[in-house]
């Protein structure tokens, strides 16, 4: 891979900035200053520094963030703040996109990655990745409502797949889905004549949102073991 491409892919510098930095001697490869942007390197093996700092190459990046209300799950939007706006400049340059969407007024766990093939696999209906949400509703939930929701309800021409609910109170529960239709939970509660007042995603597969560690608006990289577990999910 060309070194200027390597620098822009890691998000350290833009392609244009990379050319300048290289020509002015700020880069080394395996300890030797290089001055040609067309120099080829092996990102897995060669040690590259910029101004003396080692640059780690990772082809794909995986981040989770705790989305506050008011942000849309998109990479850019002419009128709205997006989840990408919550990241620092370096991470904003990595070409990340949300793996699955939360509504603007839904909070909680969003995974961001630039790994298109993995995101595609995780979002495919046949992969059945579990997503767990906590919700509060306007009216008390009856046991009958819970049973109906678990067995599937009509949300406008589509009957939802079987799912699991864990009651947390008269008007609150966790719901575990393995599918992700547009506004699914709001529509499901609407189908039992209720209304969602608060909705938060608390788990994506085995990645649990720890709100002591990640306050609303905060983010972190996935750990190696979380990453490996996701890689093992196949449709």
Q: Residues 46, 77, 103, 205: which is the catalytic one?
A: 103
Q: Which residue, 94 or 122, has its beta carbon nearer to ligand URA?
A: 122
Alpha-carbon distance of 155 to 123, in angstroms, equals 20
**Dihedral Cα 206, 84, 124, 162, nearest 10 deg:** 60
Q: Which residue, 10 or 106, has its beta carbon nearer to ligand URA?
A: 106
Q: Is 103 a catalytic residue?
A: yes
H/E run at residue 207: strand 207-208
Residue 219 CB, nearest distance to ligand URA (Å)?
Answer: 18
SS3 224: helix
Q: Please tell me the number of Cα atoms within 13 Å of 87 on its side-chain side.
A: 27
Q: Which residue, 150 or 227, has its beta carbon nearer to ligand URA?
A: 150
Alpha-carbon distance of 153 to 157, in angstroms, equals 10
Q: Which two tokens stand for residue 163?
A: 């799912």
Q: Which two tokens stand for residue 138?
A: 């306007």
Q: Which residues contact 118 (CB under 8 A, 6 or more apart)?
A: 60, 99, 230, 231
Q: Which residue, 103 or 136, has its beta carbon nearer to ligand URA?
A: 103
Residue 187 CB, nearest distance to ligand URA (Å)?
Answer: 7
Q: How far is CA 204 from CA 54, 79, 123, 230, in A?
A: 33, 28, 11, 10
Residue 89 CB, nearest distance to ligand URA (Å)?
Answer: 27
The H helix count followed by the E strand count for the chain is 7, 15
Residue 90 CB, nearest distance to ligand URA (Å)?
Answer: 28
Residue 186 CB, nearest distance to ligand URA (Å)?
Answer: 4
Query: Which residues contact ligand URA (rule: CB under 6 A)?
Result: 102-103, 106, 183-186, 199
Q: Which residue, 50 or 123, has its beta carbon nearer to ligand URA?
A: 123
Contact 113, 60 (CB under 8 A): yes
- Which DSSP state fits 52? T
**Residues designated as active site:** 103
């Amino acid at each position: 891979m060309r070194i200027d491409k390597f620098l822009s892919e890691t998000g350290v510098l833009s392609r244009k900035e990379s050319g300048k930095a290289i020509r002015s001697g700020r880069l080394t490869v395996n300890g030797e200053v290089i001055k040609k942007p067309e120099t080829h390197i092996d990102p897995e093996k060669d040690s590259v520094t910029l101004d003396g700092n080692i640059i780690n190459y990772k082809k794909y990046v995986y981040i989770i963030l705790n989305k506050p209300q008011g942000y849309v799950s998109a990479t850019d939007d002419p009128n709205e703040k997006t989840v990408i706006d919550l990241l620092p400049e370096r991470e904003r340059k990595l070409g990340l996109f949300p793996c699955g969407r939360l509504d603007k007024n839904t909070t909680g766990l969003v995974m961001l990655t630039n790994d298109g093939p993995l995101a595609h696999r995780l979002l495919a209906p046949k992969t059945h990745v579990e997503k767990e949400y906590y919700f509060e509703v306007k009216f008390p939930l009856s046991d009958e409502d819970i049973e109906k929701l678990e067995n599937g309800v009509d949300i406008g021409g589509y009957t939802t797949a079987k799912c699991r609910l864990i009651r947390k109170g008269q008007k609150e529960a966790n719901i575990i889905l393995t599918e992700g239709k547009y506004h699914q939970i709001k529509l499901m509660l609407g189908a039992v004549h209720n209304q969602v007042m608060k909705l938060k995603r608390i788990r994506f597969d085995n990645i649990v949102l720890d709100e002591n560690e990640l306050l609303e608006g905060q983010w972190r990289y996935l750990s190696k073991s979380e990453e490996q577990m996701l890689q093992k999910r196949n449709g």
